[in-house]
Amino acid sequence: MKTSILFTICLCWATYSFGQTPGAESTASPFFSNLQIRKSFEAADVLQKPVQLLYTAPHDGKNSWLADAGIGITLGKLSTGTFTSKLTAEYHRNTLIDAEQNNFQAGYNFNIFGGNGDGVNSFYTTAITGTTKYVRDKIKDDHSFVATLNLTPYLSGAQSAAGQYGFNLGRPGYTKGLKNTYQVGPAFEVQYQQILSSASGIKGGIIRPLVDLFAAISINQVPVAGAPIVAPKKIIEFSFDYINRYAVANSTGNSEGFTKLFKGGVDYYIAFREGGPQASLGLSYNVGSDPLEGLKNQRFWEFTLQFKL
Amino acid sequence: MASTIENDVKQIILVISQLPGTIDDLNNDTTLPELGYTGNMCNQLAQRLDHYVKSKKTATGVSNAEIACDETVQDIIDLITKKLS
């Protein structure tokens, strides 16, 4: 029921977003202007991949799901200065792979992002993102309380006298002439998962530090000289994301130790408007697991039609 | 004739976007995401605007939550103009 509600909200938001012109977005109500859709809210601003939604209900046979999406609503009353609060919910379900995934998460998320702000020199800070949430894994049939703390270095390169910008970390940057858009960075996180109950009888706590290395580079359509300033259109984008975790403390007895997840892929943009609707064909190779999102250890290729709103 | 505040805010938005060009080519109805802004870039913009507003001896600064990442250049100009009025 909860997952159906989340799925419906995502679809309603998609319909709403497609119906807006850029100028109209600013006149939306505060509730909607602060609503975000992402794949995950654990990290502040890692590679922004499109959400994936697919549902097929054949007349005969089993229904198929591919849902990898989350929504977040900023809590204005609990946000001040460099501190921002959100309520978030995520749904990760994939019935098209060897070991099915069916995972729902909901909770509270905060972000702390400060810095020098003088705008003259390079801007460096570490974005701190924390979450406390309830996690339901329907495949393992367990319920957990989870707390995470994520640190993502953020560097915005300084502008030289010639107008060129220095190297960026944790945010997009451009090569000369806007021919390419790149984004690279590491992120560091600690996860605490307390399994409250499980059909297999497993209970206890797990502490997992993790390192996340991510990079993406796209080939762009070079903007026309003299046109109004907007970010360049991406044509094709290559990306990889590698996460390595280790359960340094584990009282559940489930023998979890090192786990990793690698995802490498290429996206070909059929339609692209920076900040607006985007459609792409994505091919990715995935190997590894993600215990918190209920993804069991496996490897698979994924070819999807993706939309980003 | 654009005001000093408008020009200053547009220059700040343009520098953080790291896109080439001058503020004359930056339309007021362009949204931050159309300029390639991500969530943390919006936070960086809030920090820069907070510094700018406080440098004008105003008591009220700019918090990260005040810069919603779907806003237009004009929305940001209006916010800062209101704070400095």
Q: What band does A140 get if pLDDT is binned at 50, 70 and 90?
A: confident
Residue A58 pLDDT greater than 90, yes or no: no
C-alpha span between A197 and A205 (Å, rounded)? 11
Q: What is the pLDDT of residues A103-115, one digit of tens each?
A: 999 999 999 988 8
Which tops the pLDDT comparison, A21 or A306?
Answer: A306
- Chains A, B: CB pairs < 8 Å: 148
Query: pTM value?
Result: 0.81
C-alpha span between A270 and A233 (Å, rounded)? 11
CA distance B79 to chain A (A): 12
The token duo for A161 is: 């006298």
**Chain B residue closest to A181 (CA)?**
B36
CB contact under 8 A, B65 and A80: yes
Residue A119 pLDDT greater than 80, yes or no: no
CB atoms within 10 A of CB A49: 22
Residue B84 and residue B57 in contact, taking contact as beta carbons nearer than 8 Å:
no
CA distance A122 to chain B (A): 10
The token duo for A16 is: 């709403």
Residue A184 pLDDT greater than 50, yes or no: yes
Q: What is the pLDDT of residues A195-252, one digit of tens each?
A: 999 888 889 999 999 999 999 999 999 888 888 999 998 999 999 999 999 999 999 9
Predicted complex ipTM: 0.90
Task: Give B-chain residues touching A151 at CB under 8 angstroms.
Answer: none
Residue A77 pLDDT greater than 50, yes or no: yes
Identify the residue whose tokens are 């805010």: B9
Identify the residue whose tokens are 């995470």: A148
C-alpha span between B16 and B21 (Å, rounded)? 13
CB contact under 8 A, A118 and B25: no
| pLDDT recorded at residue A47 | 58
Q: Which residues does chain B have with pLDDT short of 70? A: 1-2, 58-59
CB contact under 8 A, B69 and A83: no
**Chain B residue closest to A27 (CA)?**
B71
Helix (H, G, I), strand (E, B) or coil at B48: helix
Helix (H, G, I), strand (E, B) or coil at A17: helix
Residue A295 pLDDT greater than 70, yes or no: yes
| pLDDT recorded at residue B39 | 86
CB contact under 8 A, B69 and A36: yes
CB contact under 8 A, A228 and B16: no
Nearest in space to A29 (alpha carbons), one of A63, A70, A73: A73
CA separation (Å) from A304 to A277, A285, B33?
16, 12, 24
Residue A20 pLDDT greater than 70, yes or no: no
C-alpha span between A140 and A259 (Å, rounded)? 17
| pLDDT recorded at residue A173 | 94
Helix (H, G, I), strand (E, B) or coil at B9: helix
Which tops the pLDDT comparison, A60 or A150?
Answer: A150
DSSP B46: H
DSSP B34: G
Mean pLDDT, chain A, whole residue set:
81
Nearest to A171 among B19, B30, B38 (CB): B38
